[in-house]
Structures are given as C-alpha cells and as structure tokens.
Amino acid sequence: MKLVIAGGGFGGLKLARLLNNKKGFEIILIDRFNYHQFQPLFYQVATAGLDASNISFPLRKIFQKSKNVRIRMAEIKRIDTSAKRVVTDSGDIEYDILVLATGAGTNFFGNAELEQNAFPMKSTVEALQIRHCLMENLERAVTSADELELSRLMNIIVVGGGPTGVEISGAIAEMKLFVLPKDYPELDFSKMSIFLLEGSGKVLGSMSAKSSSQAKKYLEKLGVIVKLNTQVNSYNGLNLKLLDGNIIPSATVIWAAGIKGNIPGGFESLSFKKGNRLEVDLFNQVKYMDHIYAIGDIAAMPSANYPNGHPQVASVALQQAKNLAKNLKKQLRKESGLQAFNFNDRGSMATVGRNLAVVDIPKPKFHFGGFPAWLIWMTLHLMLILGVKNRLFVFLNWLYNYLTYDQSLRLIFSEFTRGKTSAGRL
C-alpha cells in the first residue's frame, strides 16, 4: 500500500509512527516545514519563555531508522483525486491511500483588513513574529515622546477567549509584572494595558462554567482587562474598532478568535462543514471520496454528542490516527470488521500563569484549579514533547523561569520584521 500522509502535525506524525517499519506499507509524509511543531506551547515562544527549537523536532530525525517512511518538504497545491495524485510545488506524488492531516489555520472570518494587520499564532514562525513585535514596540516606546504613540505601543490586545487567548494573555501579563520593568526602567508599566476580547459571554467556552469563571478571575488578578460579549469590527494596524464603536489604540493585536481547516485544492465539488472541515464517516474516510481519509482538525465527524464534529484538539487527532492505523492494517490484510472511531474524552485544561490553571475531567465529572492543575498541565505537556533533549531544555527553562521570575530569550532578529510589525508603520 502506497500511503501518502499530508501533514506532520499530531495526527499525521502519529499515524506515520504507528505504521513505521510495518511490512506492506510504503509511506510518504509531506509537510511544508521539515519539523514537527508542538502547538500548545506557541504562546511561550511568543512571550520569550521558550526558544523555538525547544518545541520543534526535525521530521527526518524521527525516521532516521525507518525502512518505509520518507519525508517530503513541499507545499501541497491540490489533490488530483481522479488520478490519485498529490500535486506539490516540488513535483507530483502518487498514492493508493491518502490521509489528509493538514490541520487548521487562523480564521479571520473574511475580514481582509484584520488578516493584513493582526498577528495569528498557528506556527513557530508566527509565534516568533509576535515576540519580535512585542520587543520592538517596547524599544520604540523608550524613545517615544508622543502620549498617543506611547499608549499604542504599550497596549496589547488579544482577540479570542479560548485556551490560546487565555494562555498568551496571562503570559504577557506576567511579563509586565515580573520581567519588563527590570528591562525597561524608563517606562511606566502602569500605562501598559493588556486586553482580552471575547465575543461570547465567557472565556474558555468549551470548558465548564467553573473553569471559565476561575480563569477569568486569574486573568484579572494578573491585571488583564477581560471584555466579554465584545466583537471586533476592524483593525487598521493602529487602532482597533469594536462593533459598539469604541476604539482601542494598539500596535499589537493577536488574533486567536477562530480556526479553519487547511483544505488543499481538489475538493471544490464537496460542501464543507462548519469551520471549513471535510465531512468524514465513522472510519475517517472523506465522504464521496474513495481512498481518501482525513484526521484531526480538518475532519468533521458529526455525531449525537458532536453535531459539528469533534473538538479541534490534539487528543482527537492522536486517537483518530491510532484508530485509522488499525483499520489500514486490516485493509492491507483484506480483513473485514473495520473499527469505527469513538472519541475517549479524557478532559481539558488551560493555564493562565504561574500556579494558575484549570482542569476539567469528564468521568467522573470533576473540576479543580490552582497549583495542582498547573502542575498537571506542565507534566502532561512535558511528556508530549518529542525528544528527551527537548523535554530537558523545556523543563530547565521552566525551572529557571519559576525560580528567577525571568526569561532569557528577549531577542530581536530583524529578518522576522514584516508588514504586520508595527515598528515599520509608526
């Protein structure tokens, strides 16, 4: 079976590793990056808590001893479903079975101005761009004599109150409290405002009411201004305008308000589900498409419990990859009795800051927060990171940060400056 896996994220990488060195499989793993990215810790790269290399792991290193997995660094242009071929910018790749695990990107909901000026955070490179923007704006603030410009440079707005928005808001707030005043004694950080804007009535909307309420209290304790039932109208790079007409001056807007599936070309004949996702059956096969499967964020498997598809989280992708690997082995052996996917929800969690986190466990239904939740959050994320060396570096960074209330990665590299970086506009 010539198996092509599109995407080296949680789902695609898990599937490739499960079928690694299994007889009968010839596997090509395609990704536009040559490394696996640990997305849950992007916010720590963006706030100078971790180096990008700590949460990135070379794909080729993972499969150095593989006899049947080959890596292709390429951008997928489209899928030629009739010819069973993946068209990339570096050539065509034929397949017997195609598994789409291309994940999700930032959803700006059709607002071109926001897309042009706000910062997404769905890759390591984008996390680094946020970090450099934050640092550059502070450097400019040191020499700014204009009050409006100073306010704009020091105001930071995070849009979206999901786990990503909550975590990066808390991390920036801790920088303001413990780190930045030591680096920039010339600046009055009482003038620095961190806003978290959420369109619904609570943060962490997918978690319990207790977690939502507790996370909001933690954020406000750190000094974050949480605005619920607040929607964004526009952002021109200098001022963010809300739907109610209010304007917040800011040179840094981080967009964490939505995601959409990264669907390659070739599926225009299909109608996509909510969030730009491909509808799949109980075996993760794309509906109306033979020999094509989708797992993870890109796949929508409607069910009684999840009418719009499963949550777009790593645990779903990992479990779908595991189930699909079993079914592909059965297909290869021409066995019947394929196993339908059944999601085992082990719970959800989010961290706000030092000793501050929330955890929901579904069975038995239980919620807890504070230091125990924060400790569990750190332990689980540490174990999920690939490579002993990466785990060690992350642990040492966390330990150093915890003991010193400091980070050592506040570096500015000019090559990361781009159009969205406000230093080039003000």
Residue 227 lies in a domain: yes
pLDDT of residue 416: 53
Is there a single domain that holds both residue 239 and residue 144? yes
Residues 6+ apart with CB under 8 A from 162: 203, 204, 205, 206, 256, 257
Residue 196 lies in a domain: yes
Q: Which residue has the tokens 């009739």?
A: 82
CATH number at residue 369: 3.50.50.100
pLDDT of residue 422: 45
Considering its fold, how many domains does the chain have in total? 2
Work out the average pLDDT over 253-272.
92
Residue 374 lies in a domain: yes
Q: Which of 275, 300, 332 is the last residue of a domain?
A: 332
Residue 181 lies in a domain: yes
- Host domain of residue 410: 112-257+355-419
Higher per-residue pLDDT: 418 or 225: 225
Percent of the chain whose predicted confidence (pLDDT) is above 70: 97
Is there a single domain that holds both residue 126 and residue 182? yes
Write out pLDDT tens, residues 58-78.
Answer: 999 999 999 999 999 999 999
Mean per-residue pLDDT over the chain, rounded: 93
**pTM of the full predicted structure?**
0.92
CATH number at residue 90: 3.50.50.60
Is there a single domain that holds both residue 253 and residue 263? no
Is there a single domain that holds both residue 265 and residue 374? no
Is there a single domain that holds both residue 277 and residue 173? no
Is there a single domain that holds both residue 101 and residue 128? no
Question: Hey, what amino acid is at 320?
Answer: Q
Residue 56 lies in a domain: no
Q: What is the DSSP letter of 303?
A: -
Q: Pick the closest to residue 31 from 73, 79, 2 (CA basis).
A: 73
Is there a single domain that holds both residue 242 and residue 284? no
pLDDT of residue 423: 41
Is there a single domain that holds both residue 381 and residue 244? yes
- Inter-residue contact 247 to 241 (CB < 8 Å): yes
pLDDT beyond 80 at 409: no
pLDDT of residue 420: 54
pLDDT beyond 90 at 425: no
Write out pLDDT tens, residues 352-407.
Answer: 999 999 999 998 889 999 999 999 999 999 999 988 889 999 999 999 999 998 87
Is there a single domain that holds both residue 236 and residue 180? yes
Among the listed ranges 227-231, 317-321, 384-388, which one has the minimum average pLDDT value? 384-388
pLDDT beyond 80 at 174: yes
Instruction: Give the integer Cα–Cα distance in Å for 174 and 210.
Output: 23
Residue 344 lies in a domain: no
pLDDT beyond 60 at 282: yes
Lookup: tokens for 315: 């645990």
Instruction: Give the integer Cα–Cα distance in Å for 13 and 7.
Output: 8
Collapsed DSSP state (helix, strand, coil) of residue 256: coil
pLDDT of residue 40: 94
pLDDT beyond 70 at 414: no
Residue 46 lies in a domain: no
Ramachandran bin of 3, using left for φ above 0, alpha for ψ from -120 to 50, beta for the remaining angles? beta
Q: Which of 284, 300, 332 is the last residue of a domain?
A: 332
Q: Which residues on neighbouring strands pair with residue 195, listed in sequence order? A: 157, 225
pLDDT beyond 50 at 207: yes
Among the listed ranges 293-302, 343-352, 411-420, which one has the minimum average pLDDT value? 411-420
Lookup: tokens for 362: 């579904």
Residue 63 lies in a domain: no
Q: Which of 299, 332, 365 is the last residue of a domain?
A: 332
Is there a single domain that holds both residue 142 and residue 251? yes
Q: Which residue has the tokens 């963010």?
A: 240
Is there a single domain that holds both residue 270 and residue 252? no
Is there a single domain that holds both residue 139 and residue 250? yes
Instruction: Give the integer Cα–Cα distance in Å for 319 and 300.
Output: 14
Percent of the chain whose predicted confidence (pLDDT) is above 90: 87
Q: Are strands 104-106 and 156-159 parallel, antiparallel or unpaired?
A: unpaired
Instruction: Give the integer Cα–Cα distance in Å for 334 and 20.
Output: 20
Write out pLDDT tens, residues 112-143.
Answer: 999 999 999 999 999 999 999 999 999 999 99
